[in-house]
Amino acid sequence: MMGLPVRLPVTAASVDPILKALLFDLGNVIIGLDFGRAYRTLAGLTQHGADEIPKIISRANLAGPYERGELSNDEFHKRFCAALDLDLAYEPFEDLWGDMFMTEPFLEEHFFEGLGRRYRLLLLSNTNDIHYRFLRERYPMLRHFDDFVLSYEVGTMKPDAKIYNEAIRRAGVAAKEYFFVDDKQINVDAARQAGIDAVRFESRDELERQLRDRGVQWD
């Protein structure tokens, strides 16, 4: 008589993880943003006060088209300077516009290095060419990402469904095997509509708790 089949213990190594890809927003998730620093610098170069400058930029409708890739760097520079009556050559403008990120990131390189050994990592960001190049040069943790889904390259911005679908396509996994973190609830809600497990970033400790609850490891 044949004996019963032997059941081997189930271990983490013997089952595929539920999550296979992790998707991170950039600004105010990985690296903090300080627009006020750039506005204060601009205030010293124009007749406008630091509090007035973001209102002028908003009325000029520059940020959205630039981050959707509808304006080149040169076009953005010219329109920006015209809106603020600013006489500033392109190179110093590029340095000024790039210098609005905090020196110390919220999430450190060893965290992404550990995640990158186990999961496919993607960055999903509403950003522009100047900011992206500035960040790639100064923040080494970005080298651990497998792909970058950037609004100015894709031609659309969060929370539009198109950008999430592009991220899912590039990851090569089902939406349910994805985890996403963003600092804005509207973007989190849109990711959930696309079938992605998503949370809003509150702090590093809270993010780590959310990941551990899902069985994600990085140590």
pLDDT in tens, 113-172: 999 999 999 999 999 999 999 999 999 999 999 999 999 999 999 999 999 999 999 999
Give residue 15's Cα distance to chain centre: 30
Spatial CB neighbours of 24, under 8 Å, sequence gap ≥ 6: 30, 107, 121, 122, 123, 124, 145, 180, 181
Q: What is the pLDDT of residue 18?
A: 84
Residues 82 and 149 in one domain: no
pLDDT in tens, 54-72: 999 999 999 999 999 999 9
The percent of the chain in helix, strand and coil, each rounded to the nearest 5, is 50, 10, 40
Q: Are residues 125 and 207 in the same domain?
A: yes
Q: What are phi and psi of 152, to 5 degrees?
A: -70, -20
Please identify which residue in the block is written with the tokens 């969060």: 158
Contacts of 45 (CB under 8 A, 6+ apart): 86, 87, 88
- Is 70 exceeded by the pLDDT of residue 5? no
Q: How far apart are CA 188 and CA 199, in angstroms?
A: 6
Torsion angle defined by CA atoms of residues 31, 116, 130 and 159, in that order, rounded to the nearest 10 degrees: -80
Total count of residues recorded for the chain: 219
Kindly state whether residue 123 falls inside one of the protein's structural domains: yes
On whether the CB atoms of residues 144 and 113 are closer than 8 A, the answer is yes
Phi and psi at 141, nearest 5°, equal -65, -20
Q: Which of 171, 189, 182 is nearest to 207 (CA)?
A: 182
Give the pLDDT mean for 44-56. Answer: 95
pLDDT of residue 10: 34
Which of helix, strand or coil describes residue 147?
Answer: strand
Last residue of a domain, one of 63, 80, 98: 98
Are both 114 and 145 inside the same structural domain?
yes
The domain boundary, picked from 69, 98, 127, lies at: 98
In a domain, 62, yes or no: yes
Cα distances from 103 to residues 35, 88, 91, 115, 182, in angstroms, run 13, 25, 21, 22, 20
Q: What CATH number should be reported for the domain holding residue 156?
A: 3.40.50.1000
User: Would you say residue 7 lies in a domain?
Assistant: no
Q: Is the pLDDT of residue 6 over 80?
A: no
Same domain for 24 and 128?
yes
Q: pLDDT value at position 11?
A: 34
Residue 16: per-residue pLDDT: 42
Q: Which domain holds residue 72?
A: 35-98
Residues 86 and 189 in one domain: no
pLDDT for 2 equals 41
186 and 111: one domain? Answer: yes
Task: Give CA angle at 137 (132, 143), nearest 5°.
Answer: 85
Count of structural domains within the chain: 2
Work out the average pLDDT over 184-208: 97
Shared domain check, 39 and 54: yes
Whether residues 46 and 151 share a domain: the answer is no
Question: Which two three-digit tokens encode residue 212?
Answer: 């551990």
Domain check: are 111 and 188 in the same one?
yes
Give kind and range of the element (H or E) at residue 123. Answer: strand 120-125
